[in-house]
Each structure stands twice: as C-alpha cells, then as structure tokens.
C-alpha cells in the first residue's frame, strides 16, 4: 500500500524530533564534566574531618556551577562515593568510579592509609587522583607519580613546623635551651601518624631538642594507659600527638585520670582540628593546646591574600554553616574547598583550552602548568607541583602549615611569626589541668 505524503511528513517530523532530542542529550552530556568524589561519609573518620572536607568540596562545585561551570561553559557533576572509613571499601569504590561510572578524575581522600593504595591504583590505570586532605608524605615520596596530585601539605611539613616553633620559643618562653627541652612523640601507627612522627623526630633533632619517647599505637586501641605511663616516666616537657578523634579522646581522658602533666601538647591536624568535638568532651581542659595543620581560611588576613579571596572565604564559611548548622568551620572544610577550587579553576579550564579536553593526559599536563604564587589561594600558600622524575613528583612544593592555638571559642595563628595573629601562650598556664 503506498505511503501518503502526510504519513511521510509525520514520520519525518517524529524522526527529526528524536534526532533533536538525542542531539540535545548528547550536547548536555558533552557540556557536563563528571568527577568522582570519595570521602569517608560514615565510620569513625567521618566525624574526624572527612565530612567537613566533603562539604568544602561540594561548596566549591556549587559555586563553579552557579557561574556556568568550568570556564563558564561546562557544568560539574559529582559522582559521590563513601569509603566508610575502611581501606578495602575505598579501593572498591574507586574501582567502581573508574570501571562502572567511567570517571577520569577522582577528587577527595581523607585518610592517608587509603591514599597510599588509591594513588597506586589510579596511577596504574592512568586516571587522575586529586588528593584534597590526606597528608602522608609516603603517598608521593620516591613513587614518581604522573597522574596523582596534591596541593595539600605533606606530613614532613608538620615536623618542620614543630621543630621551628620549639627552636624559636624554647629560650624566650620556657627559659630553656632547646637541648634541654624533652619531647615525646606519640602517634597512631598508620601512614598519617607514622609520617608525622618520623618528621617530628628529624626536625626536633635538627633543632637540638631531645626526643625522649617515640611510640606508635593502633587507632582502634581500647586502652592507652600504658602509653600514658611511658610518657610520665620519660619526663617529657612537650608532647606531639598525631591521632584521630576516638584515640585522642581516649588518650586525653586517661592522661587526666593518671595525672600526666606537660608544658604543651601539639596536635597534628586530624582529630585535633575537630575542636568542637573535643570541647564537647573536655571543655576548657583543652584550652591553649596547639595544633599544626593547614590554616582554616577564615583565620587569615584577607589583605594579605590575592584580590577577591577574602570574599570567597566569607562565602565558603557562610555556606558551610548553612549546610551543617555548625558554629565553627574546621580546617578540613578549607582543605576540601581549596584543593577542589584549584582543580576546577586553575587546572580544568587549561586542560580544555590548551590541551583539548578533560581526559587524564590533558588534566595531567594542565596540572603541571599551574603556577599560583604565595597568597594566591584561600589557605595562603601558592601551588606549583613537583614535576615527574623528582622525589615528590605530584606534590605541591609551595604548601605550608601553621601552628594554631585555641582558647575557648577563639583560635589564633601563632606560627610562623610573620603571619601570626597572636603571641603564643607557652607553657600551658597554671590553670590548666594538664599544666606541669
């Protein structure tokens, strides 16, 4: 039976509509950059800073999308994964993101214990791993990574800050020569804690300080009273502690119960950056403890940063409080936001415009082009990645931590001296339950 002209027209119109719909769908997909994000959204690491980092990442993505996306053209779609504070789950989730979700870029990672195997996996599969939070130097050292990048500080820098603070203030504040100051280095025994303690030992000795105890323990240990006893016997004046929230809480509780006294305690980020949680348990007992970490952006003087960063920090803080209901914005929010912001604004536009796409090769080349001077990010440091065939290839060579001190609701930067906002209280005042 012959086909009428009307039927042909209807069929042609329907086909055109389908083709138009397919074209619009393909165009929409082409204009969207899918990025995997992996954080510990459940388990013990969640409350230790991982969720705060993930919220920082979400805020960065939201702000970029509100301005039209990457380069004002390409919206970002986050494909989320929860590593559940478990290494095997982290590996499985990254495999899912790569093989099933077909993402080429993965952003996040809170735990250094997860970062080490994830870096190896992404390197092997030539996918980009953009680390926002995990700090262990071991992730990069002598690995010659090409597809893994970290603008965040690394654990050796905690030791530099620790040794630098003590050498600068021992005589003036304690009335002691550095060689007479005794320090105890305690740490959870994963890559994070071990890396921080190893760096503390190296730089403390360089400063001429006595290391009288160096002791690791499992972050899941049910009892740390033996460790407390060892510290008491060592006669340590100063303690450096790298740990997560549950083990820090256990240690401080048993230290108080067993009468441990010291002149100062230095935390190394992680659980010591979760002051709201520590304060909920210990109240004013933790006043004047110091913490070494990348700085929460809101503590910096905006006048010392690149134009516009002060307003960006204000927006980040407002959004974090609105999303979480928190009254404090922990440094982990700045970490998740800052590193993701650099990826979305300084790397991916260059990958597209200069190297032709958002594939791993283009992103890798664009990352190596990044050259942000000091003061050019919300956390104050610049960004320039060590190139391939160097000992820390993929690590930011311009990252810097600070020493912060807390008193009640107030947190101050007390080192380095050139950007400090307050003179440090050192030693602990006599009113402290831990004061020597």
Which of the four pLDDT bands, split at 50, 70 and 90, describes residue 28?
very low
Query: Under a CB-based contact definition with an 8 Å cutoff, are residues 283 and 275 in contact?
Result: no
Query: Which domain does 358 fall in, by range?
Result: 29-154+302-369
Residue whose C-alpha is closest to residue 324's, from 63, 56, 61, 48? 56
Pairing status of strand 402-407 against strand 290-293: antiparallel
Mean pLDDT over 10-36 rounds to 61
Domain count, the chain: 2
Residues 191, 109: Cα–Cα separation, whole Å: 14
Residues 214 and 239 placed together within one structural domain of the fold: yes
In a domain, 181, yes or no: yes
| pLDDT for the residue 33 | 97
In a domain, 226, yes or no: yes
27 pLDDT above the threshold of 50 = no
Residues 339 and 265 placed together within one structural domain of the fold: no
Residue whose C-alpha is closest to residue 277's, from 353, 226, 206, 328? 328
In a domain, 388, yes or no: no
Residues 286 and 346 placed together within one structural domain of the fold: no
In a domain, 340, yes or no: yes
Which of the four pLDDT bands, split at 50, 70 and 90, describes residue 25?
very low
Residues 315 and 222 placed together within one structural domain of the fold: no
Residues 221 and 279 placed together within one structural domain of the fold: yes
List, for residues 63-85, the tens digit of each pLDDT value. Answer: 999 999 999 999 999 999 999 99
Residues 169 and 250 placed together within one structural domain of the fold: yes
């Amino acid at each position: 039976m012959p086909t009428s002209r009307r039927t042909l027209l209807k069929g042609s119109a329907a086909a055109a509509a389908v083709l138009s719909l397919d074209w619009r769908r393909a165009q929409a997909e082409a204009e969207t950059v899918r990025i995997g994000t992996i954080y510990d959204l459940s388990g013990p690491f969640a409350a230790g800073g991982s969720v705060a980092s993930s919220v920082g990442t979400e805020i960065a993505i939201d702000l970029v999308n509100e301005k039209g996306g990457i380069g004002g053209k390409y919206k970002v779609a986050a494909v989320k994964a929860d590593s559940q504070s478990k290494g095997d789950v982290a590996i499985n989730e990254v495999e899912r993101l790569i093989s099933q979700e077909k993402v080429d870029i993965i952003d996040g990672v809170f735990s250094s214990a997860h970062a080490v195997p994830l870096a190896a996996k992404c390197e092997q599969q030539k996918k980009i791993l953009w680390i926002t939070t995990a700090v262990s130097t071991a992730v990069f050292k002598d690995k010659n990574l090409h597809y893994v990048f970290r603008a965040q500080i690394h654990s050796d820098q905690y030791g530099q800050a620790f040794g630098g603070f003590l050498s600068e203030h021992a005589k003036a504040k304690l009335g002691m020569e550095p060689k007479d100051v005794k320090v105890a280095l305690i740490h959870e025994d994963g890559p994070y804690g071990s890396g921080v303690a190893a760096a503390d030992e190296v730089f403390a000795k360089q400063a001429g300080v006595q290391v009288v105890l160096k002791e690791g323990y499992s972050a899941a240990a049910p009892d740390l009273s033996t460790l407390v006893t060892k510290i008491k016997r060592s006669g340590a004046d100063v303690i450096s502690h790298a740990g997560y929230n549950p083990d820090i809480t256990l240690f401080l509780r048993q230290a108080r119960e067993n009468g441990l006294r010291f002149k100062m305690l230095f935390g190394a980020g992680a659980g010591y950056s979760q002051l709201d949680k520590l304060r909920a348990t210990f109240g004013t007992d933790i006043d004047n403890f110091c913490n070494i970490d990348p700085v929460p952006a809101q503590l910096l003087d905006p006048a010392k940063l690149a134009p516009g960063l002060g307003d960006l920090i204000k927006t980040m803080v407002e959004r974090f409080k609105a999303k979480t209901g928190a009254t404090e914005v922990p440094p982990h929010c700045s970490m998740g936001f800052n590193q993701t912001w650099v990826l979305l604004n300084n790397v991916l536009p260059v990958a597209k415009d200069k190297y032709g796409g958002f594939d791993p090769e283009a992103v890798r080349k664009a990352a190596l082009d990044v050259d942000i001077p000091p003061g050019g990010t919300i956390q104050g440091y610049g960004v320039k990645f060590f190139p391939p065939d160097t000992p820390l290839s993929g690590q930011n060579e311009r990252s810097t931590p600070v020493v912060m001190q807390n008193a009640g609701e107030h947190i101050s930067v007390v080192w380095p001296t050139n950007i400090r906002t307050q003179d440090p209280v050192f030693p602990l005042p006599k009113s402290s339950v831990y004061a020597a």
